[in-house]
């Protein structure tokens, strides 16, 4: 059989709240650790637990990030979407499923592999078997795709950093899954991973984190925000990275962070900080922009430089917070009342998220007006393989910052 190397798409169907995200990120990071360009896309529900979720991984030597024309591997764990997931499998693709779900797989034109994942997980830890079961498909894919064991170990260690017991339990489950697959399945599959020379300065990042890093690089010194998907992680990443990148000489903070009582209050704080000469910003989504519109108009007519990042979701009103669109553009351009026309910066790549993250402050100050950054869920919350350009900028920041 002719092998197709480093060019495939995985689709993993699970239920939200079962711990599958950890397993999916371990697969993504393991492929990345082997030096293969890879990206991950999460389709998830807007609840805490129970509804269906899918995670799509694309590996591509050519660096393609969008899912391919076909899905080569499907992992099926969720009984609620079982029938549809099986029907959607392309002919000739590989289906991996949890036998303990006890639902049929009737696809003679696919390569079908079953494993009693839940039963095996009970042998590792009965109380955590629902979550540990996901690690068995990690082991199964590691066997079929030929993912390096050291890459798996590094990814698990990073995923559960400081939790030795969790690392031990999950590595045991992955190892048992790999062994089961090796002993019980044929390994005649077309698509596999082959290690490449890894750029030591490459990393996985999403658009929200890149925007957060750009904002820090650009000198943000006041962040006022109210949590709203899919923009929350932008603010959270600023909070997470500030102590590592930009503390003052005495170790003190160089940026005030305020979680406001609502989006309207956050907008008022942004205007107040910039009126006082600071570099203030907020991150929100379409419904938040609607609530901020009165203050945005005040900023426009009072000529107050200020920064508003809108990470789009499907609207209007509360909308669909875990789905994406770019429908806020006209709202941003003419937000508020009267003859307002705003500057909108629209990144199309993770690099541009970082670049616009710092440039947006310069633009706002040059034109003395509110300026919008315009992103969306797909760009903001999905990890892609990124090379060293951003890291070089951050290294420059670490060595040059003075409070």
Cα 394 to the center of its chain, rounded Å? 20
Average pLDDT over residues 289-300: 95
Lowest mean pLDDT among 72-76, 224-228, 350-354: 350-354
> In Å, how far from its chain's centre is CA 100?
30
Q: How far is CA 76 from the centre of its chain?
A: 21
Q: What band does 393 get if pLDDT is binned at 50, 70 and 90?
A: low
Q: Is-contact 145 193, C-beta < 8 A?
A: yes
Q: How confident is the model at residue 159 (pLDDT cuts 50, 70, 90)?
A: very high
Instruction: Give yes or no for a contact between 359 and 376, defined as CB atoms under 8 angstroms apart.
Output: no
Q: Find out whether 313 and 230 touch, Cβ atoms under 8 Å.
A: yes
Q: What is the rounded (10 degree) CA torsion for 355, 312, 271, 339?
A: 100
* CA neighbours closer than 13 Å in the CB half-sphere of residue 344: 18
Gyration radius (Cα) of the chain, Å: 23
Percent of the chain with pLDDT over 70: 93
Please compute the mean of the pLDDT values over residues 60-80 and round it to a whole number: 89
- What is the mean predicted confidence (pLDDT) over 170-189? 92
Domain boundaries, the chain: 4-197, 205-400
Which tens digits make up the pLDDT trace of 361-381? 999 999 999 999 999 999 999
Tens digit of pLDDT for each residue in 110-121? Answer: 999 999 999 999
More confident residue, 142 or 397: 142
Question: What is the distance, to the nearest Å, from the Cα of residue 84 to the centroid of all Cα atoms in its chain?
Answer: 25
pLDDT value for 403: 42
HEC per residue, the chain: CCCEECEEEEEEEEECCCCHHHHHHHHHHHHHHCCCCEEEEEECCCCCCCCEEEEEEEEECCCCCCCCCCCCEEEECCHHHHHHHHHCCCCCCEEEEEHHHCCCCCCCCCEEEEECHHHHHHHHCHHHHHHHHHHHHHHHHHHHHCCCHHHHHHHHHHHCCCCHHHHHHHHHHHHHHHHHHHHHCCCCCCEECCCCCCCCCCEEECHHHHHHHHHHHCCCCEEEECCCCCCHHHHHHHHHHHHHHCCCCCCCCCCEEEECCCHHHHHHHHHHHHHCCCCEEEEECHHHHHHHHHHHHHHHHCCCCEEEEEEECECCCCCECCCCCCCCHHHHHCCCCCCCCCEEECCCCHHHHHHHHHHHHHHHHHHCCEEEEEEEHHHHHCCEEECCHHHHHHHHHHHHCCC
Mean pLDDT calculated for residue range 237-260:
87
Cα torsion 206, 211, 216, 221 to 10°: value is -130
C-alpha–C-alpha distance, residues 152 and 174, integer Å: 9
Residue 193's pLDDT is 95
Q: What's the confidence (pLDDT) of residue 395? A: 62
Query: Percentage of the chain with pLDDT > 90?
Result: 73
Q: In the numeric block, which tokens belong to residue 266?
A: 């956050």
The overall longest dimension of the chain from CA atoms, in Å, is: 72
CA angle 269–362–343, rounded 5-degree value: 75
Euclidean distance between CA atoms 207 and 381, whole angstroms: 6
What is the number of alpha carbons within 13 Å of residue 157 lying toward its C-beta? 7
Sign of the CA dihedral with 78 first, then 79, 84, and 88 last? positive
pLDDT over threshold 90, residue 383: no
Note the CATH architecture for domain 4-197.
Answer: 3-Layer(aba) Sandwich (3.40)
Mean pLDDT of the chain: 91
Whether domain 205-400 has CATH 3.40.50.970: the reply is: yes
């Amino acid at each position: 059989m002719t092998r197709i190397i480093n060019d495939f798409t995985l689709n993993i169907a699970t239920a939200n709240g079962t711990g599958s995200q950890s397993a999916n990120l371990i697969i993504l990071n393991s492929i990345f650790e082997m030096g293969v360009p890879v990206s991950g896309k999460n389709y998830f529900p807007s609840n805490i637990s129970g509804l269906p979720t899918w995670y799509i991984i694309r590996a591509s030597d050519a660096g393609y990030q969008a899912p391919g024309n076909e899905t080569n591997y499907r992992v099926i764990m969720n009984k609620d979407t079982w029938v549809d997931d099986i029907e959607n499998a392309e002919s000739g693709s590989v289906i991996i499923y949890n036998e303990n779900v006890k639902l049929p797989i009737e696809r003679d034109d696919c390569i079908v592999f079953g494993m009693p994942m839940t039963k095996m997980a009970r042998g590792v830890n009965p109380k955590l078997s629902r979550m540990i079961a996901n690690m068995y498909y990690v082991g199964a894919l590691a066997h079929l795709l030929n993912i390096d064991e050291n890459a798996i170990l590094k990814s698990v260690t990073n995923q559960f950093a400081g939790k030795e017991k969790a690392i031990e339990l999950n590595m045991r489950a992955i190892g048992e899954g790999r062994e089961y697959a090796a002993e019980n399945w044929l390994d005649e599959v077309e698509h596999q991973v082959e290690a490449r020379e890894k750029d030591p300065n490459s990393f996985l990042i999403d658009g929200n984190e890149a925007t957060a890093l750009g904002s820090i690089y650009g000198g943000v010194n006041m962040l006022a925000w109210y949590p709203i998907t899919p923009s929350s992680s932008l603010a959270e990443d600023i909070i997470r990275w500030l102590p590592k990148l930009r503390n003052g000489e005495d170790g003190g903070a160089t940026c005030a962070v305020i979680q406001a009582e609502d989006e309207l209050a956050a907008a008022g704080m942004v205007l107040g900080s910039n009126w006082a000469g600071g570099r203030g910003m907020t991150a929100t989504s379409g419904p938040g922009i609607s609530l901020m519109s009165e203050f945005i108009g005040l900023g426009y007519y009072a000529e107050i430089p200020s920064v508003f990042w809108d990470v789009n979701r499907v609207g209007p009103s509360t909308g669909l917070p875990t789905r994406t669109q770019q429908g806020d553009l006209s709202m941003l351009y003419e937000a508020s009342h009267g003859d307002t026309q705003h500057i909108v910066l629209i990144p199309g790549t993770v690099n541009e998220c970082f670049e616009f993250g710092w440039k947006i402050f310069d633009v706002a100050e040059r034109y003395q007006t509110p300026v919008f950054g315009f992103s969306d869920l797909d760009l903001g919350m999905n990890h892609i393989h990124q090379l060293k350009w951003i890291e070089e900028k951050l290294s420059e920041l670490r060595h040059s910052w003075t409070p």
